[in-house]
Structure formats: structure tokens, C-alpha cells
Amino acid sequence: MRRIALAAALACLPLAAAAQVTTLRIVSAFPENSFYVTRLQTWIQNVNEEGKGLLQLNFIGGPKAIPTFEVGNAVRTGVVDLAMSTGAFYTNVFPESDALKLTQMPVAEQRRNGAFEYIEKVWAEKGNMIYLARVVEYQPFHLYLNKPIEKPDLKGLKVRITPVYRDFFSSLGATVMQTAPGEVYTALERGVVDGYGWPIGGIFDLNWQERTKFRVDPGFYDAEVSLIMNKDAWDKLGGRQRDFLLVQTRLLENRNDYWKIYAQQETERQAKAGIQVIKFDSAMAKQYVAQAYETGWAGIIKVSPVHGPKMRQLFTRK
Ligand code: 173
């Protein structure tokens, strides 16, 4: 009798669990056909396999679903539950978001030195967001150009930017123009810009190599792409669902060493595509990178006099 009751109870378990499934809506601020998104979708598939009966992710799409610079507000207000984005795309929610480009240590170390905790606090307070995981690192930004330069002087050049590059490129004399990644190709094609900022990897995703003559070395900062979540959606999850989501996002973050290989591959691929490297000598290079950080932090601290200096202290390698 008892055995039968137990068997019956066990048989009911999947049903009981099924009643607990939550499906979260996730979007990407990067274009649908970018490598970042391909990688995200592979991860989502796996999460959905592992999360049967507990938690499912429904990929809504990229900027066609929600425009790049509106994704942050969509997460803040709960129009979507989760997003893969970068801070530069949601400075309209809170300006500190763009500071993540300035971290000088891997996210694993940020989780140990208090930086991650500080990010979590600011994101929750100012963005109504849970900062879940950084899924891109080891990707320095570069300036790509169609006109040659001999020194870090961009006077007379029009350069496509996001907030990432605004203060730095402006300080070098560039005329800057902000666009989402999806509009870079057209801007280059029409000659509206003479170049653009982008990390070392990814320019082939939208065929920009067809419209790119030079890459300027060295790179600067570290491209940040992260998973962020609406805080109310997080608060509604059960304990097991939260644990599962934390484990899954951490698994993706723990694979970030891959980006080191990707950076090498993309550098080679650019050379093969005929993109020439404009390389500053070491003194100039040092000054160029120093100016990138100086102007970057000045910009953050100007709009965030309280959090800015604290972030600078936590994000800068001693
Ligand atoms: O669009 C951009 O140039 C940008 O800001 C960015 C940020 C992180 C990764 C890739 C691009």
C-alpha cells in the first residue's frame, strides 16, 4: 500500500514541478546576426534544456525587437526580463553604466575585490536591475579609419561613436557621431563618417571590413557586454530558479577566456582582409592609452561625482 502511494506521489512530481515553470523574456541590444548573439543563443538553448520544469528563456530578438539604445529602459521597466547589452547603450537609464568599459581586471577578480558588489548595488539602485554576469571581456576597443593618421590627432575626421568613445575621441579633436551598431555600415558606405570605434572582434559580422582601411593600435579599455535583469522579475523568482539562473549565467561568464583566442583570430582575419595597422610608437601609444583612461574617467566622474571616484578606485589596477 505504502509503496503504491509513494509511486503515485513520485509520478505526480513532474506535474507539480511543471506548475512552477517561469519563462523569462530576453533580448539583445546587439544585432541579431552578430557573434555575441550567436553565442548567447547557444547558451539559451542549453539553459532551456537544463531548466526544463523550472526556468525557460524566450529569446525575443535583437534591435529589431527593441532598438539598441532603448533596451536598458525596457529592462528597467520590465518590458523585458533580461537583456544582453553594454553599459554604453543604457546611459539614458543611469550614466554610471558606461564605466564598465574602464575595468582593468577580469570579472573574476572584480567578484573578489568589491568591484562587482559595487556594480550590483548601483545597478539595483539606479537601474532597477540585477547585474548578473559579464559575458564579454579581453576585447580592447580600437579606432578604425578610412583615412591615415600619423599621430593621435583626429582633427577634421568624423568618427562614429557610442558613449564608450565620446570623451576620448572628442579630446583627440574628432567630430563625433553616435549610431547603433546596425547603422555603422551605411554610415561608412555613404561617407558620413571616416571611421568608427569598435572592439578588436566583430567587424566582420556586419561586413564592415568592406569599408575599413585602417585599424589604429594600440587598443584601449575593455569591451564589456553583460546580462542584466529586471529586479522585479528577479524578486518574483523562487529560490531554486534564482540559484539555477545564477549558476547558468556564471557558467557563461566562466568561459570568458575564449575571448582571448577570439581577439587573436580576429586580428589575423583583419590582416588577411587587407586592413592595415597604424601603430603609434611606444611613447605615443602610452600617452594615447593614458589619455583614453583620463578622459573616460573624467567623463564618468563629471556625471557621477559620488559613484565615479569609488568606481575608479575599484576598477583601476594598482
Ligand atoms: O557600439 C559600440 O561601439 C559599443 O559601444 C560596444 C560596446 C561593447 C561591445 C561592442 C561595442
Q: Looking at residue 62, what DSSP letter applies?
A: S
DSSP-assigned beta bridge partners for residue 22: 55
In tens, the pLDDT along 223-240 reads: 999 999 999 999 999 999
Nearest to 69 by CA among 185, 167, 199, 162: 162
Task: Report the atom number in ligand 1 closest to the C-alpha of 88.
Answer: 5
pLDDT in tens, 145-188: 999 999 999 999 999 999 999 999 999 999 999 999 999 999 99
Dihedral sign, Cα of residue 196, residue 144, residue 220, residue 167: negative
Q: Could you report the per-residue pLDDT of 263-299, keeping only the tens digit for each? A: 999 999 999 999 999 999 999 999 999 999 999 999 9
> How many angstroms is it from 245 CA to the middle of ligand 1?
25
Contact present, 130 and 228 (Cβ < 8 Å): yes
Q: Supply 161's cell numbers.
A: 561613436
The pLDDT value recorded for residue 17 is 46
Q: Which atom of ligand 1 is nearest to the CA of 199?
A: 10
Distance 226 CA to ligand 1 centre (A): 12
**pLDDT value for 2:** 52
Residues 6+ apart with CB under 8 A from 230: 75, 76, 77, 78, 80, 81, 82, 128, 129, 130
71: buried, middle or exposed (CB in 10 Å: 19+, 13-18, 0-12)?
Answer: buried
Pocket test residue of 92, 141, 212 for ligand 1, highest count of atoms within 8 A of CB: 141
Residue nearest to atom 3 of ligand 1 (CA): 198
With beta carbons less than 8 A apart as the criterion, state whether 189 and 211 touch. Answer: yes
Reading across the β-sheet that carries 175-178, which strands appear in turn? Answer: 175-178, 158-161, 195-199, 141-145, 214-220, 276-279
| Per-residue pLDDT band at 19 (split at 50, 70, 90) | low
CB 98 within 8 A of CB 200: no
**How many angstroms is it from 94 CA to the middle of ligand 1?**
17
2 CA → ligand 1 middle, Å: 61
How does the average pLDDT of the chain come out, rounded?
Answer: 95
Distance CA 295, CA 173 (A): 13
Distance 199 CA to ligand 1 centre (A): 7
| Residues having CB within 6 Å of any atom of ligand 1 | 86, 88, 162, 164, 181, 197-199, 223, 225
Percentage of the chain modeled with pLDDT above 70? 94
Mean pLDDT of 126-131: 99
